[in-house]
């Protein structure tokens, strides 16, 4: 691992020039010859029985080529429960649900024709409060779960709105609380948040006469959506091709099908003409996907000396109208709700609940940000109750090498203590009070956050290295570039391992027909999983190069070696022999012309290490190939007159295992911090009577570059992962998982009252300061 | 999607007024377009004709100085105003106001005339002009007239302009360097924000440096139109501006006379409490700016 030439050295991302000059073609920019334009008639009400959908006028409108309703496309899909139809059938379950769609010669015509569609309906009771939705006798979003085809991964409770229940049981919870000298208990709320990527959902679908389906989509996970489409239509994998152009941001929101099924329903009826559907910004808000709102109850017990004895929690995950990936998000949050602390007795129940709202699904952090702010607010409350410094309380209970986590797993490569200490040091935790009043009357506070997260396991990645005849390399793989830098990091790893320049390696466009399978671009998994696949592919390629050289040089393959970028015959003393070729100069050597073209293939998967968790306890010897642990610190200033919170500084301690590209790594973390600030202070989707009030970029407040005007102090910790490529772990989500927790902690210290609702609103702050509110 | 429209690009004010007389009923004037095109895109506006003012030279430029007063063409962009040295030095409150608009990209397109004629109660550019006692120079096919800015907004999102009239220039009176002013915008983020509430304060003192000779307070998003808080202004006259209690009372008076709306964005009570808390602070900043200057 010493003398690395590429890994750990800053490399400018390969896509930067195209992106900053606006040359990059995103899915929404595509034009496929003969394409038609789609527009969607969406439900104007959140919950209703459909009586009649009248599309006759739209179908007769000049320039309209195809009109479909749910009955024309009787197909369903869903990650764990196949509860979604391509277009609504029988019922609508949220305001904005697609009911009918039009494909026309121009977008203007399509939009005009959609206005001519009408729906007769009978309104049903609105289910918009997650705590009402779980009550016995609540009206139901889905009357009969048994109607749907189930995949493994979610188990709905019949006759309820609960589509899954995750349980964590460890030790003896009653004994744990009996042993406690102090118990703190609170209820917390997280609001609904839009991913708000710069590019809305966009898909273009072509159905050839043979039945072959081609989809150009800004999807994070082409192989996963291919699986869904194939299951829906009953097609074999090779009859569905997903092509992924450049993607304008995903953050988890482009994991699942969204625009694709609607465009496909139309394209099945356009005689081979492609159909393009791009959501408007408003459609992206009302009918895209979101980070689900959640109510969490937490109860922590500790001894006088600060030793944690028990943690109990309940999560009510408001996943909206359809189950989507919600059950898995809730499950992850449930498992890690107690945080990166050693707590012998746990009882946590997570309920994923359907309501008549936007669809909650994966969002950068996958439930961890929401849970982290809860366990951290509990730690602050406990510190206050015990009269112990909040950092000291955390450090007393923090997981270390060999600790058992919430699922009973023994942890290795644990860098959290250093992450937390550095995060605290970077905000000067020990150099003064953690809350004070400035000369001009502002309230300052410092806070800390930690998190615990794991990557989805089992999963798989594979990669092919094509050795071009000039010695350059093209990597074919299915991980998608979302801005996170995968198209730079993968070539770097291959370059290091081969000993050639990173400039000689590029990534092929992602197309399920031409690249080998990959599970998904989610769960901060690519650097680790695809990285391993690439290293295996490099080994395979080296092996083939050695064999080729042996033939040409007339020697035994065993006598040919590759080291430090040189292919050579081994001399008698183990040193360089008489034949040697630098891989960087392999074209000149003529070696490649002497044999057939070479490919290296690498395939990596993790089912062999996975111990399926017990469904009653979530206990597992090994739940995940990789756990992420990290911390943040924050200093904030609260204006007691306006209620506004200003970020002074955010620090980070991220255990990335091994830094591959320091530039990309720092940028990833900076971006995560700013996104966390947005979650903490601004972003919230607001509903009245089932209707989204702020479905636009003015009223849904994503931070601007001007809001990133605070100081950041990022500490990279490198606790190598024994199974990671060069020891690397993921950083995409860990970059932001405890930012919200740290900011909420800092505001809590500034106010003297824990924050129990996020985002932290000025109204709440003023109410707390007047002693009327309790932080929500 | 922007609906189809017919575009006119007149070159003189006379041409503009002639067009307005003829087709004004079905037209929308475009200055920077940062509101018009957004509203057309959203389906709020769907005019038959757009009249683009960008080629009308008479409507551009900033003339004059602090002694003669400023004469600002309606088509002057916010970026021109915020980078104008005389504005920066002598009318810094106007700089503060226009600098709070949108983002640099928006300020590079949007104009002060557009900001005024959109007549939003939240407009960041209007408050500073209100406390500077700006006057609108209006031209029509029948001649010109002057309208004080405070009398320019008869109702929400409405102006006093007749069908054939346009706002040609904004006249800002001279200043003598013995005033202090400050602008405050309340929003959740630092750019691309519509003011949830805005306050502009202007004060002059007697020779003793503390007794208020004149105070002017303009409030944004605090009534259906941009307003002046006349009662609070009257209360302050003759009072000691260095006395915190006086400023706090002015805040209570301003909050009392303001008529903010309650909506899902913010309750009426919250907006009123912000006014009560923040009018005193803005007055204090205005007073400090004077004593500094």
Q: Residue A507 in contact with residue A548, Cβ under 8 Å?
A: no
Contact B188 A693 (CB under 8 A): no
Q: Is the pLDDT of residue A636 over 50?
A: yes
DSSP state letter for A555: S
> Which chain B residues contact residue A200 at CB under 8 A?
none
Chain A residues within 8 A of B266 when measuring between CB atoms: 763
ipTM for this prediction: 0.95
CB contact under 8 A, B188 and A644: yes
Chain B residues whose beta carbon lies within 8 Å of the beta carbon of residue A645: none
- How many helices (DSSP H) and strands (DSSP E) are in chain B? 11, 12
Q: Please state, in angstroms and rounded to a whole number, the distance separating the CA atoms of residues B118 and B167.
A: 11
DSSP A696: S
Dihedral angle, C-alpha B221, B225, B226, B228, nearest 10 °: -110
Best B188, B260, B273 residue to mutate vs chain A (most A CBs within 10 Å): B188
Task: Give the contacts of B242 (CB within 8 A, at least 6 positions apart).
Answer: B210, B287
From B191, B273, B277, residue closest to A706, measured CB to CB: B191
Contact status, residue A424 vs residue A710, Cβ threshold 8 Å: no
Question: Distance, in angstroms, between B145 CA and closest chain A CA?
Answer: 36
Mind telling me how many Å the CA of B270 is from chain A's nearest CA? Answer: 7
Nearest CA in chain B to A693: B264
With CB atoms and an 8 Å threshold, state whether B1 touches A688. no
Distance in angstroms (rounded) separating the CA atoms of residues A137 and A527: 47
Q: Nearest residue of A to residue B103 by CA position?
A: A706
Angle at A153 between CA A148 and CA A156, to 5 degrees: 50
What residues contact B49, with CB distance under 8 A and at least 6 apart? B5, B6, B7, B8, B23, B26, B27, B28
Judge whether A593 and A551 are in contact, CB under 8 Å.
Answer: no
Handedness of CA A218, A222, A224, A228 (dihedral sign): positive
Average pLDDT, chain A: 96
Q: B192 vs A641: CB contact, 8 Å cut-off?
A: no
Is the model more confident about A296 or about A570? A296
pLDDT score recorded for residue A151: 87
Say whether B189 and A707 touch across the interface (CB within 8 A). Answer: yes
Q: What is the mean pLDDT of residues A567-595?
A: 86
The string of pLDDT tens digits covering residues A32-76 is 999 999 999 999 999 999 999 999 999 999 999 999 999 999 999
CB contact under 8 A, A698 and B194: yes
Residue-level pLDDT at A2: 64
Q: What is the dihedral of CA A193, A199, A201, A202, to 10 degrees?
A: 180
- CA B114 to chain A, closest CA, distance in angstroms equals 19
Whole-angstrom distance, CA of residue A629 vs CA of residue A446: 21
Q: What is the pLDDT of residue B291?
A: 76
pLDDT at B1: 83
pLDDT for the residue numbered B17: 98
Identify the H or E element spanning A633.
strand A627-638
Split at pLDDT 50, 70, 90, the class of A772 is low
Q: Give residue-wise pLDDT tens across range A327-380.
A: 999 999 999 999 999 999 999 999 999 999 999 999 999 999 999 999 999 999
Instruction: Tell the residue number behind the tokens 């709440």, with chain if given.
Output: A764
Is residue A577 very low, low, confident or very high in pLDDT (cuts 50, 70, 90)?
A: confident
CB contact under 8 A, A682 and B189: yes
Distance CA A103, CA A36 (A): 6
Phi, psi of A93 (to 5 degrees): -120, -5
Q: Residue with structure tokens 């301690």? A: A653
* Chain A residues with CB-CB distance to B278 below 8 A: 641-642
Provide the pLDDT for residue A153: 85
Confirm if A181 and A200 have CB atoms less than 8 A apart.
no
Structure tokens given for A394: 């955390």
The predicted structure's pLDDT at residue A573: 73
Give residues with Cβ within 8 angstroms of A82, minimum separation 6.
A76, A148, A149, A150, A151, A231
- Residues in chain B with CB shorter than 8 Å from the CB of A704 are 103, 189-192
What is the pLDDT, as a whole number, of residue A776?
45
What is the pLDDT confidence band of residue A775, given thresholds at 50, 70 and 90? very low
pLDDT of A252: 97
pLDDT tens per residue, range B279-292: 999 999 999 998 77
CA distance, residue B183 to nearest chain A CA (Å): 15
Summarize pLDDT for A507-553 with one digit per residue, the tens.
Answer: 999 999 999 999 999 999 999 999 999 999 999 999 999 999 999 99
Reported as a single tens digit per residue, the pLDDT across B60-90 is 999 999 999 999 999 999 999 999 999 999 9
Mean of all residue pLDDT scores within chain B: 96
The A308-320 sheet, strands edge to edge: A162-170, A345-354, A308-320, A294-302, A182-190, A757-758
| Residue A774 clears pLDDT 90, i.e. is over it | no
How many beta-carbon pairs under 8 angstroms link A with B? 48
Instruction: Collect all residues of chain B within an 8 Å Cβ-Cβ radius of residue A701.
Output: 188-189, 193
Dist CA A164 CA A335 (whole Å): 14
Closest of B150, B68, B163 to residue B116, by C-alpha: B150
Nearest CA in chain B to A282: B42
* Secondary structure class of B13 (helix, strand, coil): helix
Among B192, B197, B278, most A C-beta atoms within 10 A, so best to mutate, is B192
Residue B293: pLDDT band with limits 50, 70, 90: low
- Whether the bond between A759 and the residue before it is cis, its omega within 30 degrees of 0, is yes
Q: Which residues contact B83 (CB under 8 A, 6 or more apart)?
A: none
Lowest mean pLDDT among A79-88, A122-131, A470-479, A575-584: A575-584
| Interchain pair A704, B278: CB under 8 A | no
Measure in Å the smallest separation between the Cα of B219 and chain A Cα atoms. 16
Reported as type and span, the H/E element at residue B249 is: helix B244-257
**Chain B contact residues (CB < 8 Å to A):** 1, 103, 186, 188-194, 264-267, 270, 273-274, 277-278, 281
- Which of B1, B103, B277 has its CB closest to that of A641? B277
Task: Reply yes or no on whether the pLDDT at A555 is more than 60.
Answer: yes
Which three-class secondary structure state does DSSP give residue A450? strand
Among A642, A692, A761, the residue to mutate for chain B (most B Cβ within 10 A): A642
Q: Is the pLDDT of residue A111 over 70?
A: yes
**Residue in A694, A704, A762 nearest the CB of B190:** A704
Task: Please report which confidence band the pLDDT of residue A574 belongs to, taking 50, 70 and 90 as the band edges.
Answer: low
Indicate if the pLDDT at residue A97 is higher than 70.
Answer: yes
Q: Is the pLDDT score of B12 beyond 50?
A: yes
E strand map for chain B: 6-8, 27-30, 49-52, 62-65, 69-73, 135-140, 143-148, 166-172, 179-186, 197-205, 212-220, 227-228
């Amino acid at each position: 691992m010493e003398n690395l030439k590429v890994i750990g050295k800053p490399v400018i991302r390969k896509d930067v020039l195209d992106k900053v000059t606006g040359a990059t073609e995103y899915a929404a920019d595509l034009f496929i010859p003969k394409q038609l334009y789609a527009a969607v008639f969406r439900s104007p009400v959140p919950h209703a029985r459909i009586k009649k959908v009248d599309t006759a006028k739209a179908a007769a409108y000049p320039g309209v080529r195809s009109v479909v309703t749910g009955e024309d496309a009787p197909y369903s899909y869903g990650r764990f429960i196949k509860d979604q139809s391509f277009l609504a059938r029988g019922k609508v379950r949220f305001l904005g649900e697609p009911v009918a769609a039009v494909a026309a010669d121009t977008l203007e015509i399509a939009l005009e024709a959609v206005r001519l569609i009408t729906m007769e309906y009978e309104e049903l009771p609105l289910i918009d409060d997650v705590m009402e939705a779980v009550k016995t006798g609540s009206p139901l979003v889905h009357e009969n779960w048994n109607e749907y085809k189930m995949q493994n991964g979610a188990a709905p409770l019949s006759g309820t709105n609960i589509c899954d229940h995750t349980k964590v049981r460890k030790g003896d919870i009653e004994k744990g609380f009996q042993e406690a000298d102090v118990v703190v208990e609170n209820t917390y709320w997280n609001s609904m948040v839009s991913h708000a990527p710069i590019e809305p959902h966009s898909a273009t679908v072509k159905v050839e006469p043979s039945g072959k389906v081609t989809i150009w989509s800004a999807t994070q996970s082409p192989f996963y959506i291919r699986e869904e489409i194939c299951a829906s239509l009953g097609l074999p994998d090779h009859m569905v091709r997903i092509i992924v152009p450049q993607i304008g941001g995903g953050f988890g929101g482009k994991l699942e099908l969204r625009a694709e099924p609607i465009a496909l329903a139309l394209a099945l009826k356009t005689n081979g003409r492609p159909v393009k559907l791009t959501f408007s910004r408003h459609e992206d808000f009302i009918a895209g996907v979101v980070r689900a709102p959640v109510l969490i109850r937490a109860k922590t017990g500790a001894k006088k000396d600060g030793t944690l004895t028990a943690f109990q929690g309940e999560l009510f995950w408001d996943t909206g109208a359809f189950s989507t990936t919600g059950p898995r998000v809730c499950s992850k949050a449930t498992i890690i709700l107690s945080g990166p602390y050693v707590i012998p007795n746990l009882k946590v129940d997570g309920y994923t609940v359907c309501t008549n709202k936007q669809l909650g699904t994966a969002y950068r952090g996958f439930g961890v940000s929401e849970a982290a702010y809860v366990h951290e607010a509990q730690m602050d409350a406990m510190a206050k109750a015990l009269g112990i410094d909040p950092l000291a309380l955390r450090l007393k209970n923090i997981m270390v090498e060999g600790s058992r986590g919430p699922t009973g797993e023994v942890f290795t490569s644990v860098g959290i203590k250093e992450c937390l200490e550095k995060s605290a040091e970077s905000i000067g935790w020990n150099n003064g009070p953690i809350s004070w009043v400035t000369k001009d009357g502002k309230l300052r506070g410092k806070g800390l956050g930690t998190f615990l997260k794991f990557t989805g396991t089992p999963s798989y990645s594979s990669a092919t290295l094509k050795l071009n005849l000039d010695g350059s390399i093209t990597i074919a793989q299915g991980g998608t570039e979302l801005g996170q830098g995968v198209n730079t990091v993968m070539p770097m790893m291959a370059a290091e391992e081969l000993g050639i320049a990173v400039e000689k390696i590029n990534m092929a466009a992602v197309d399920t027909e031409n690249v080998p399978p990959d599970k998904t671009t989610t769960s901060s998994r690519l650097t680790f999983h695809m990285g391993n696949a690439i290293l295996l592919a490099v080994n395979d390629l080296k092996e083939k190069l050695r064999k080729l050289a042996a033939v040409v040089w007339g020697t035994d393959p065993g006598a040919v070696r590759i080291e430090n970028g040189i292919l050579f015959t081994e001399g008698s003393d183990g040193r360089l022999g008489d034949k040697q070729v630098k891989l960087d100069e392999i074209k000149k050597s003529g070696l490649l012309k002497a044999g057939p073209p070479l490919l290296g293939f690498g395939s990596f998967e993790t089912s062999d290490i996975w111990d399926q968790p017990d469904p009653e306890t979530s206990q597992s010897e090994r739940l995940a190939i990789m756990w992420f642990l990290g911390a943040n610190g924050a200093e904030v200033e609260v204006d007691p007159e306006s209620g506004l919170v200003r970020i002074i500084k955010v620090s980070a301690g991220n255990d990335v295992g091994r830094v591959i590209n320091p530039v990309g790594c720092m940028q990833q973390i900076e971006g995560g911090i700013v996104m966390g600030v947005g979650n903490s202070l601004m972003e919230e989707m607001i509903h009245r009577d089932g209707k989204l009030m702020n479905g636009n970029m003015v009223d849904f407040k994503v931070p601007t570059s001007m809001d990133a005007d605070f100081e950041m102090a990022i500490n990279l910790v490198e606790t190598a992962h024994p199974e990671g490529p060069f020891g690397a772990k993921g950083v995409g989500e860990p970059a932001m998982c405890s930012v919200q927790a740290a900011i909420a902690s800092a505001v809590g210290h500034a106010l003297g009252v824990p924050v129990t609702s996020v985002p932290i609103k000025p109204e709440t702050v003023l109410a707390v300061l007047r002693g009327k509110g309790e932080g929500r | 999607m922007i609906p189809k429209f017919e575009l006119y690009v007149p070159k003189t004010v006379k041409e503009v007024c002639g067009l307005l007389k003829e087709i004004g009923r079905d037209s929308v004037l475009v200055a920077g377009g940062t509101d018009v095109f957004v509203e057309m895109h959203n389906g709020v506006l769907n005019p038959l004709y757009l009249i683009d003012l960008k080629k009308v030279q008479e409507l551009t430029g900033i003339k004059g100085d602090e002694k003669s007063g400023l004469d600002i063409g309606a088509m002057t962009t916010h970026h021109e105003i915020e980078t104008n040295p005389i504005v920066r030095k002598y009318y810094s409150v106007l700089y503060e106001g226009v600098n709070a608009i949108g983002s640099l990209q928006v300020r590079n397109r949007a104009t002060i005339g557009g900001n005024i004629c959109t007549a939003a109660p939240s407009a960041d550019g209007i408050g500073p002009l209100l406390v500077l006692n700006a006057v609108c120079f209006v031209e029509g096919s029948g001649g010109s007239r002057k309208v004080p800015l405070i009398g320019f907004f008869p109702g929400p999102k409405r102006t006093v302009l007749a069908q054939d009239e346009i706002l040609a220039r904004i006249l800002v009176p001279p200043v003598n360097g013995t005033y202090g002013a400050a602008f405050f915008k309340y929003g959740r983020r630092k750019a691309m924000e519509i003011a949830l509430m805005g306050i502009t304060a202007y004060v002059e003192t007697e020779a003793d440096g503390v007794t208020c000779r004149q105070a002017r307070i303009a409030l944004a998003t605090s009534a259906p139109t941009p307003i002046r808080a006349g009662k609070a202004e009257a209360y302050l006259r003759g009072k000691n501006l260095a006395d915190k209690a006086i400023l706090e009372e002015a805040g209570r008076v301003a909050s009392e006379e303001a008529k903010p709306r309650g909506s899902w964005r913010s309750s009426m009570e919250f907006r009123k409490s912000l006014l009560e808390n923040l009018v005193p602070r803005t007055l204090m900043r205005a007073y400090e700016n004077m004593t500094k200057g």
